[in-house]
Structure 1
Amino acid sequence: MGLRLSKNRFKKSQNKAFENTSIAETNARHASSQTVDLSHTYGHHECQMSQVAEVDLHTHLNECRKNPGHVNFIPIGKFAMEHLPEGHHDIDLYELIKATADLTVRVGVNMVSYRRPQFFPNTSVRYPFNDMGGNKLTRSGTGQISVYRYVEGCGYNASGSKYNGLGKQFDSAHKVCTCSKCRQSDTPSKEWWEIIVYTAAHVVFDATEGDHTSCRLFYDDASSPKVILDQLHVINVNVERDSCHMKHVTCDVTLGGKLYAMDKICSDLWNKVRDKYVIRYGERLTFIVSHPHGCHKQVSVGQWMDNAIVGELNESMYLSKLTYTTSTCPGSSGARVYCLGFRGYSHVHNGALDTGLNYSSVDYCTKSTMLLM
């Protein structure tokens, strides 16, 4: 597929909002980096491998070479308005980041599939862990969840809509819950929730790995209770786009209802913030909530540099890939990348380039807002 890059770059005047932040001081090293051809460009993946579960993960955190001291990461419990750049002290933006964190999960995988390819598609770049088939070492990434409510097979997203952005209905062929408990019950629940986990394909490659995957919810600090989602079913993997979607089904009203309400808050805030900032010329703030080194949630804030068009989805959507200065570490692979200034959708973090920039998966963005860039 051909590649077109957005041409407008950061100007010094557009960076003033970031000049007084410690985050900006680090990111400024990359602000003049040259645009890279992303059509078949892959850097270093950012899964975290570990030998001895939690103890080993904290060792990796303390010995990190990419971001020693993690000065550009803010623990979610300490994240405050002043961590946002000048000109972005916006309560809606602040609440959006907090709401995003509520839906961010640590993804843990304990199996490497034998089906991993030798190389990334159409490249000679080796695919992560392709020579480790059958290995049961733990690796960690990040994901974000969306929640759908079903009543007798009629599906609704957190905004109450029955249709996704492409006009497809959420309805299920099933009229009752299919969780493990309901499958063994004579009276399965007619109401249930489907929790969809979005991450990267190099984190969870296929159904084999999905069967050995769990997600930790609400891991905000060292004292957070362990809330684990397992029994995950891989529903979609796209190796070329480097995206993976998994599903967990539950009729637990407490968990399902709580997550559904959180998703609604996040969705409403994202729509408000996205619409507010998309009309601001030169807007480039990017934030990521992830689990660096498999440890508790951290927020990082930076700027997106390029929105590279790698294909066309339909008459109104492009497929694109992002680069950005927002700090990430091993363990950040699969985290949602939120960019202000254009209508992008579900890009997730993929890895780091030798230039110092980070890059995303391929996902779609609207053609209309590309005209504003």
Structure 2
Amino acid sequence: VDLQTLPLGLKQTAIEKLLDVLSQLSCRVTLNCKMRTKKLGCGLVDNVFIYCYGIGINTVKKSFFRVCQCTKCIMSKTPSNTWGEIFLKTTLNVSNSTKRVPVLFNYSRIKVTLHRILKHNASQKTAVCVLRYVTCDQAALKELQVLQEERFRLEEKVQEECQCYKDLKRLYVSVTYTEQDTQYISTGSWTDSMSPLRTLDRTHNT
């Protein structure tokens, strides 16, 4: 992430590292809508929980299920007893989507299965969907957990470093995707029209 267009004071902060982590926690969300049409959107990992026989690992949270409910495990006679939940937030309206809502993460193809849509706010102005995915891919779960921990650490650091700018400078960041799995990160100073000052792109070989 290149922040050369940002105000000088913000360039000396941990924002660049934070945005890099957030870009890795973001994913492309594909909606398979009616009439064989597709919509592309962006989601961001909100929480990651890992379980063993339904008991949370490093968390007090428990699951109703003892074994993994992903497509592979449901069809298997020996489903994995160590698995995890990935919660994503997206503003993409999934109400008109078919049952499957596949997601593709940035630097690695993480295979997850949509279990159910937890929440959907129908308001077009504030629509937020929380999607719950399940997977027994231990490497993927560990990778996302490490990124989440780094995200929280950097967010605290940025809060401290940018405290003096909270009423003076506002940061604009958006992430979009193309069908070719190119991730576009737009950064700049927040304006009334919310127009980014610069758009960067990353291409993923998947």
Q: Does 1:82 align with 2:4?
A: yes
2:56–2:63 contact (8 Å) kept in structure 1: yes
The question of 1:94 aligning with 2:16 is answered: yes
Instruction: Classify 1:263/1:326 alpha carbon distance in 2 versus 1 (closer, same or farther; 3 Å).
Output: farther
Matched, 1:268 2:153: yes
Matching residue within 91, 115, 138 for 2:38: 138
Q: 1-side partners of 2:176 and 2:38: how far apart? A: 15
Q: CA deviation at 1:249?
A: 0.7
Quote the residue 2:87 is aligned against.
Answer: 196
Query: Would you say the 8 A contact 1:285–1:301 is kept in 2?
Result: no
Q: Structure 1 residue 205 and structure 2 residue 127: aligned?
A: no
Q: Which range is displaced more, 253-262 or 295-304? A: 295-304
| Aligned-partner Cα distance in 2 for 1:174–1:87 | 49
TM-score w.r.t. length of structure 2: 0.77
Match of 1:236 in 2: 119
**Paired amino acid for 1:300:** S
Query: What pairs with 1:161-200 in structure 2 (closer than 5 Å)?
Result: 162=60, 170-200=61-91
Going by fraction, where is strand more abundant, 1 or 2?
Answer: 2
Find out whether 1:300 has 2:167 as its counterpart.
Answer: no
Contact 1:205 1:244 in 2 (8 A): no
SS at 1:145's partner residue? strand
Backbone CA RMSD of aligned residues: 2.9
For the 8 Å contact 1:198–1:244, the answer to whether it is kept is yes
What is the percent sequence identity of the aligned residues?
Answer: 23
Distance in structure 1 (CA, Å) of the matches to 2:66 and 2:100: 28
CA contact (8 A) 1:291 1:297 kept: yes
Compute the displacement of 1:205 (Å).
1.9
Deviation at 1:151, TM superposition (A): 3.1
- Deviation of residue 95 (structure 1)? 0.5
Alpha-carbon distance, 1:257 to partner: 1.4
* Structure 1, unaligned runs of 5 or more: 1-78, 112-133, 163-169, 220-224, 306-322, 329-373
**CA distance change for structure 1 residues 185 and 283 in 2, over 3 Å: closer, same or farther?**
farther
Deviations 1:86-113 (A, max 9, x none): 10123521100100010111111121xx
The residue identity in structure 2 corresponding to 1:150 is Y
What residue identity is the alignment partner of 2:20? K
Which residue type is aligned with residue 216 of structure 1? L
Kindly indicate whether the alpha-carbon contact (under 8 Å) linking 1:302 and 1:327 is maintained by their aligned counterparts in 2.
yes
What displacement does 1:275 show? 4.2
**CA shift digits 1:213-270 (9 cap, x unpaired):** 2112116xxxxx7x26453232211113301111221111122211221222122212
* Contiguous gaps of at least 5 residues in structure 2: 198-206
Q: Deviations over 1:342-365 (max 9, x none)?
A: xxxxxxxxxxxxxxxxxxxxxxxx
Q: 1:173 to 1:296 in 2, by over 3 A?
A: same
Cα 1:136–1:274 change in 2 (3 A) is farther
Does residue 218 (structure 1) correspond to residue 119 (structure 2)? The answer is no
Q: Distance in 2 between matches of 1:250 and 1:281?
A: 39
Kindly report structure 1 stretches of 4+ aligned residues shifted beyond 6 Å: none
Residues in 2 aligned to 1:327 and 1:81: alpha-carbon distance in whole angstroms: 12
